[in-house]
Amino acid sequence: MSEAKASPLLVIGAGIAGVTAALEAAEMGSEVVLVEELPSIGGRVMRINNYFPKLCPPSCGMEINTRRLERNPRIRVMTSSKVTAAVKTDSGWAVTVTTAPAFVNSKCTACGDCAEACTTMVPDPHNLGLNEAKAIRLPHLNAWPKRYVFNREAVSDNEAKKIADACGFGAIDLDATETTEDIEVGAVVVATGWRPYPLENLEDLGGDIDDVISNVQMERMASTGGPTGGKILCPSSNEPPKKVAFVQCAGSRDVNHLNYCSGICCLASLKQATYVKEQIPDAEVTMYYIDRRAPGRNEDFLLKVAEMDGVDLFKGKVGRIEKVKKQLKLHVEDVENVKLIEADADLVVLATGMVPNAIDDDLALFTRKDEEGFVLDDLESGVTVAGVARRPEDVASSVRDATGAAARAVIAAGGR
Where along the sequence are the contacts to ligand FAD (CB under 6 A)?
A: 12-18, 35-38, 43-45, 48, 51-52, 82, 191-194, 215-216, 219, 264, 268, 271, 354, 357, 361, 387-389, 393-396, 398
The answer for 47, left when phi > 0, alpha when psi is -120 to 50, beta otherwise, is alpha
From residue 413, how far is each of 77, 149, 202, 334, 407 by CA, in Å? 19, 34, 44, 55, 10
Task: Tell me the backbone φ, ψ of residue 96, rounded to 5 degrees.
Answer: -110, 125
Question: Shortest gap between Cβ of 49 and ligand FAD (angstroms)?
Answer: 8
**Least CB distance from residue 340 to ligand FAD, whole Å?**
28
**Nearest-10 crossing angle of helices 58-71, 16-27:** 30
Judged by beta carbon, residue 38 or residue 202, the one nearer ligand FAD is 38
Residue 204 CB neighbour total at 10 angstroms: 15
Nearer to ligand FAD, 252 or 286 (CB): 252
Measured from the CB atom, is 12 or 115 closer to ligand FAD?
12
Judge whether 144 and 16 are in contact, CB under 8 Å. Answer: no
Compare residues 172 and 387 and give the one whose CB is closer to ligand FAD.
Answer: 387
Minimum CB distance to ligand FAD, residue 266 (Å):
11
Q: Which residues contact 331 (CB under 8 A, 6 or more apart)?
A: 318, 319, 320, 321, 322, 340, 341, 342
Nearest distance, CB of residue 109 and ligand FAD, angstroms: 24
Question: Closest separation between CB of residue 390 and ligand FAD, Å?
Answer: 8
- For the beta carbon of residue 333, count every other beta carbon within 10 angstroms: 16
For ligand FAD, the closer of residues 331 and 369 by Cβ is: 369
- Quickly count: other Cβ atoms within 10 Å of residue 108's Cβ: 21
Q: How far is the CB of 229 from ligand FAD (least distance, A)?
A: 20
For the bound state, the minimum distance from the C-beta of residue 276 to ligand FAD, rounded and expressed in Å, comes to 14
Among residues 108 and 375, whose Cβ is nearest to ligand FAD? 375
> How far apart are the two ends of the chain, measured CA to CA in Å?
16
b/e burial code for range 386-409 (CB count within 10 A of at least 16 → b): bbbbbbbbbbbbbbebbbebbbbb
**Considering beta carbons, is residue 81 or 163 the nearer one to ligand FAD?**
81
